[in-house]
């Protein structure tokens, strides 16, 4: 109030309350209205802070509490009170305290036939209803009935009064008691009829605000289950769907469409997932626990965000404020160093994991501690033996009727048309080669035993082009891998190998309103169930694969291979399929990762896939991410690539609920369209580029064979066995000493340790690819890599959760718990890999070799780029708003050294996405425990995106096609 100081305003407001003269009161109101009309919201807030609301309410009570109110004063007063009250959050409570609420309601009832006066009263009642208790008070005093009388079918008279009445009704319905009362009185049906009437007769779209306000009333009524049920029972879904269809394509009606779609989503009846149980199809008996005992995950979900609109700006992407309520504020707890969780005597078992400290160099050169098969055991006879065992298991599993593999048929067209293999033979021979190649991969019988040499030539011709991959070694490694389901099938991409595409792939562009279109299709399925095929074409619970012969015109699916995850597939339309994922073993939740085989497609036909039981509240699939696809036909044509594919990609909350009808997580749909290039191809679709445990085993074997043992000290050992009986690899990489002299050996054995871990969460396959690059770089001849080897000893655990990876899980291990929440007190029986990793770190600390750096590799599904999470006492206390004076705390700032270095040298690294906060909910994670209990200053979680970069030279642009 530039022209009016605080003292003058106070006098003016005081005079308003004390004035008994109508003319004086009117003059004061005019002055205030003029000041507010010429100003901004800041002036209104200033007036509120000086008691403006109380003064206006007092004047209202004084003017209205007379037998014959003076409307010359009352109308300007009501207008001004509505304007100021709209900005006062406590206006409803203030009005109750002075008795202005029911007084205004009485004024409205007295002036139902006077549109101008009624409108003014309605505006004031609307702002009073900003308080739910005030709205409930109005409802108890017949406010609903009084206001509803003023809402008429379509008319050209008293438009302002009708709009005010609808807005006020919507505000009154914010109270659940009022909403229930409105439902019981049949107001939902009346509101639907009113909306239909205004929709049909407002041909010039002159009264869109009234139509929008009617939808708002229905939204308020639908906050309760009774309101939602009433809307569906009264045919509201069909009415809203039809009226929305009529609005599509009219830009000025976008607000109506959005509101109606959200209302239909809210009222869409919940439908249980078509499963016999929400528990995982697979279970694993835990030591000391009954088989039926399913552990509950103690980790609170951090994915509560629900994006119900097409506005991409609404995301829970990070600012650090989202952590404020979870930050550790106890200084003693932040600075304390807990005692080890085990006695020193138990640490002797880890001496074997440091051969570089206890072996003379010639001994290290001559022997290897790699567990597993030697090269001699990987000969063709051994491979054939393993394969024949797989064939036998496969035949028992799928029945003798499957003697002819569909994959054998499906590779034929591509091989016959343009096969690159020309080794003395025509199309028929090439057909045999392709079919035999498929049979070998999948563990199915070959058509002819004499085709063995042809397969070898195919493997030699194509397999040689995949760095650090050998299909024969992969087959042998897979034969030793133990899964719950007893997998006897190899997925072709993992067996054959793959190369990165030759060009940078753009992010997918998102068409406007794609989410709206998907939701409207879901609603159409609900309204017209007769149009839904509802045909089960794949089900893990059915021992026979129904999709293979019972539905010959359907796509065929399969997922019983390493890392595979697909539980059930339902055909909803000719080329549309609902896909249901399997939760983690011994769990009923953690649904994100998928990896499956699909075949029987026609080229250039659009197929839609809807993964309907995702759990995360938002996903990078809404921001350019795509699933990945591998085509067998393309691979045999010399293009073995995983490619990002899919159009019309959308991730949104759906109407499904747990199959037991109990309250549970909201489910989300990932929907995408795919057009296949080849008919009768065999393709694989996955959430992200798969990286199996057998791939890791193969990679480590080949990496060890590729290094120069005179320069690179490379040792692979087993840390321990997992619950499922698989080894947890531990790799040591450092530089060999230049000679056997004492000084060189001393330098080797006193290098600082760097410990790297990855894949504790099995669905984060990108962590394995980052680790793969780390291993290959450290073993390379790059001068920087040589310098690192000479300066440090790297201890690398590339897969902390082999069982989860093998069995196609998203987050947990076979114990049904998140292993990255077990670091405080890991159980040696239930979490052996974490127990022994922590024990090994304790051992290094006990001999004075505490790691200089610890880094746990992860993947992030909702952010782009690569970034680090670290630990800092000062930053945590400062961010949490703690009363501790952080300026007096001393803390080594070295935890920022690595992030700052990476920010300078790594274009994909985002320094701005890093944080160093210690959250209570993450106190049992590797990063925090290693920092707090072992005193590792540089203890990090490395997060890498699933979806590329939006900065630097690796910035991936969206596809504009």
Block residue for tokens 């000479």: 790
pLDDT for the residue 432: 35
pLDDT, block means (10 residues), the chain with 961 residues = 55 70 80 73 81 89 88 91 91 94 95 95 96 95 95 92 96 95 95 96 93 96 95 97 94 95 95 93 85 47 36 35 71 88 94 89 48 36 35 39 32 32 33 41 44 59 74 93 94 92 86 92 94 93 60 90 97 96 95 96 97 94 95 92 96 91 82 97 97 97 94 96 97 93 90 98 97 97 97 98 98 96 96 98 96 97 94 93 85 96 94 95 96 97 94 72 42
For residues 624 and 960, the answer to whether their CB atoms sit within 8 Å is no
Contact criterion met (CB below 8 Å) for 627 and 645: yes
SS (H, E, C) 48-112: HHCCHHHHHHHHHHHHHCCCCCCHHHHHHHHHHHHHHHCCCCCHHHHHHHHCHHHHHHHHHHHCC
First CA to last CA distance, the chain: 54
169, 194, 281, 956 from 284: Cα distances, Å? 56, 58, 10, 42
* Inter-residue contact 715 to 731 (CB < 8 Å): yes
Residues with a catalytic annotation lie at 943
Whole-number pLDDT of residue 42: 77
Q: What is the structure's pLDDT at 458?
A: 65
How many other C-beta atoms can be found within 10 angstroms of the C-beta atom of residue 103? 18
Q: Are 773 and 696 in contact (CB under 8 A)?
A: no
Q: Are 121 and 165 in contact (CB under 8 A)?
A: no
Bridge partners, 378 (sequence order): none
Indicate the pairing of strand 568-573 with strand 576-580: antiparallel
pLDDT at 4: 52
DSSP secondary structure of 637-676: TT--BEEE--EEEEEEE-SEE-TT--S-PPPEEEEEEEE-
Q: What would the DSSP string read from start to end of 147-168?
A: HHTT--SS-SSSHHHHHHHHHH
Q: What is the pLDDT of residue 66?
A: 86
Query: Is there a contact between 353 and 716 (Cβ–Cβ < 8 Å)?
Result: no
Under 8 Å between Cβ of 563 and 812: no
pTM of the model: 0.84
The pLDDT of residue 841 is 98
- The predicted pLDDT at position 882 comes to 84
């Amino acid at each position: 109030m530039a022209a009016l100081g605080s003292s003058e305003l106070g006098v003016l407001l005081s005079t308003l309350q004390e004035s008994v003269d109508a003319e004086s009161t009117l003059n004061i109101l005019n002055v205030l209205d003029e000041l507010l009309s010429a100003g901004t919201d800041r002036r209104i807030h200033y007036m509120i802070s000086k008691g403006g609301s109380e003064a206006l309410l007092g004047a209202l009570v004084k003017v209205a509490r007379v037998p014959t109110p003076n409307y010359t004063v009352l109308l300007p007063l009501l207008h001004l009170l509505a304007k100021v009250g709209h900005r006062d959050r406590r206006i409803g409570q203030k009005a109750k305290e002075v008795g202005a609420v029911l007084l205004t309601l009485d004024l409205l009832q007295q002036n139902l036939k006077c549109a101008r006066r009624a409108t003014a009263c309605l505006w004031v009642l609307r702002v009073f209803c900003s308080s739910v208790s005030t709205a409930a008070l109005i409802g108890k005093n017949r406010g609903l009935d009084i206001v509803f009388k003023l809402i008429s079918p379509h008319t050209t008279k008293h438009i302002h009064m009708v709009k005010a009445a609808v807005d006020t009704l919507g505000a009154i319905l914010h109270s659940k008691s009022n909403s229930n009362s409105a439902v019981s009185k049949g107001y939902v049906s009346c509101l639907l009829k009113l909306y239909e009437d205004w929709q049909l007769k407002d041909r010039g779209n002159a009264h869109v605000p009234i139509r929008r306000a009617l939808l708002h009333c229905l939204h308020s009524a639908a906050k309760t289950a009774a309101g939602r049920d009433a809307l569906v029972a009264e045919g509201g879904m069909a009415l809203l769907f039809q009226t929305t269809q009529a609005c599509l394509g009219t830009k000025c009606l976008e607000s109506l469409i959005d509101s109606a779609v959200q209302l239909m989503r809210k009222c869409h009846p919940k439908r249980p997932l078509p499963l016999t149980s929400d528990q995982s199809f697979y279970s694993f008996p835990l030591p000391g626990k009954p088989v039926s005992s399913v552990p509950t995950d103690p980790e609170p979900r951090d994915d509560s965000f629900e994006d119900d609109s097409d506005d991409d700006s609404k995301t829970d992407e990070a600012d650090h404020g989202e952590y404020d309520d979870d930050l550790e504020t106890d200084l003693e707890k932040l600075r304390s160093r807990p005692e080890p969780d085990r006695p020193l005597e138990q640490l002797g078992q880890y001496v074997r994991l440091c051969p570089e400290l206890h072996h003379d160099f010639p001994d290290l050169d001559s022997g290897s501690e790699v567990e597993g098969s030697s090269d001699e055991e990987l000969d063709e006879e051994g491979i054939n033996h393993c394969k024949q065992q797989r064939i036998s298991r496969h035949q028992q599993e799928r029945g003798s009727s499957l003697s002819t593999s569909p994959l054998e048929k499906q590779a034929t067209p591509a091989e016959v048309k343009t096969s690159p293999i020309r080794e003395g033979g025509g199309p028929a021979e090439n057909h045999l080669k392709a079919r035999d190649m498929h049979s070998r991969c999948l563990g199915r019988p070959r058509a002819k035993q004499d085709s063995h040499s042809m397969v070898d030539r195919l493997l030699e011709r194509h397999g040689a082009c995949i760095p650090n991959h050998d299909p024969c070694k992969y087959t042998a490694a897979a034969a030793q891998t133990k899964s719950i389901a007893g997998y006897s099938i190899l997925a072709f991409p993992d067996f054959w190998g793959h190369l990165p595409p030759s060009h940078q792939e753009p992010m997918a562009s998102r068409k406007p309103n794609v989410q709206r279109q998907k939701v409207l299709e879901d609603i159409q399925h609900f309204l017209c169930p007769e149009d839904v095929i509802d045909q089960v074409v794949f089900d893990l619970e059915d021992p026979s694969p129904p999709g293979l012969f019972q539905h010959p015109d359907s796509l065929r699916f399969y997922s019983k291979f390493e890392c595979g995850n697909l539980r059930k597939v339902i055909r909803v339309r000719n080329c549309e399929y609902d896909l249901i994922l399997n939760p983690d073993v011994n769990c009923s939740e953690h649904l994100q990762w998928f990896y499956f085989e699909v075949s029987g497609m026609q080229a250039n036909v659009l197929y839609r896939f809807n993964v309907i039981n995702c759990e995360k509240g938002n996903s990078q699939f809404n921001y350019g991410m795509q699933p990945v696809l591998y085509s067998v036909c393309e691979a045999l044509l010399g293009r073995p690539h995983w490619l990002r594919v899919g159009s019309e990609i959308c991730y949104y909350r759906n109407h499904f609920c747990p199959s037991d009808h109990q309250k549970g997580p909201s489910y989300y749909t990932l929907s995408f369209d795919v057009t296949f290039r080849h008919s009768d191809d065999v393709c694989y679709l996955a959430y992200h580029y798969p990286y199996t445990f057998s791939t890791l085993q193969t990679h480590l074997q080949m990496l060890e064979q590729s290094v120069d043992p005179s320069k690179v000290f490379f040792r692979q050992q087993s840390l321990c066995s997992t619950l499922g009986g698989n080894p947890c690899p531990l790799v040591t990489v450092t530089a060999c000493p230049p000679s056997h002299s004492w000084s060189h050996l001393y330098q080797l054995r006193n290098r600082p340790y760097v410990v790297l871990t990855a894949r504790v969460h099995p669905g984060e396959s990108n962590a394995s690819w980052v680790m793969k690059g780390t291993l290959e770089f450290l073993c390379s001849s790059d001068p920087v890599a040589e310098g690192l080897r000479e300066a440090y000893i790297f201890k690398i655990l590339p897969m902390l959760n082999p069982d989860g990876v093998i069995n196609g899980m998203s987050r947990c291990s076979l114990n049904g718990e998140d292993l990255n929440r077990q670091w405080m007190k890991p159980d040696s029986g239930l979490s052996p890999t974490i127990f022994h990793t922590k024990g090994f770190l304790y051992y290094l600390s006990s001999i004075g070799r505490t790691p200089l750096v610890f880094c746990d590799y992860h993947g992030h599904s909702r952010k782009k780029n690569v970034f680090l999470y670290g630990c800092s006492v000062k930053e945590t206390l400062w961010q949490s708003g703690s009363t501790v004076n952080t300026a007096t705390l001393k803390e080594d700032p070295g935890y920022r050294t690595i992030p700052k270095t990476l920010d300078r040298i790594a274009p994909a690294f985002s320094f701005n996405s890093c944080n160093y906060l210690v959250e209570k909910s993450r106190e049992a994670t590797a990063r925090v425990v290693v920092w707090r209990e072992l005193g590792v200053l540089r203890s990090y979680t490395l997060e890498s995106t699933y979806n590329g970069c939006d900065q630097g030279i690796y910035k991936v642009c969206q596809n504009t096609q």
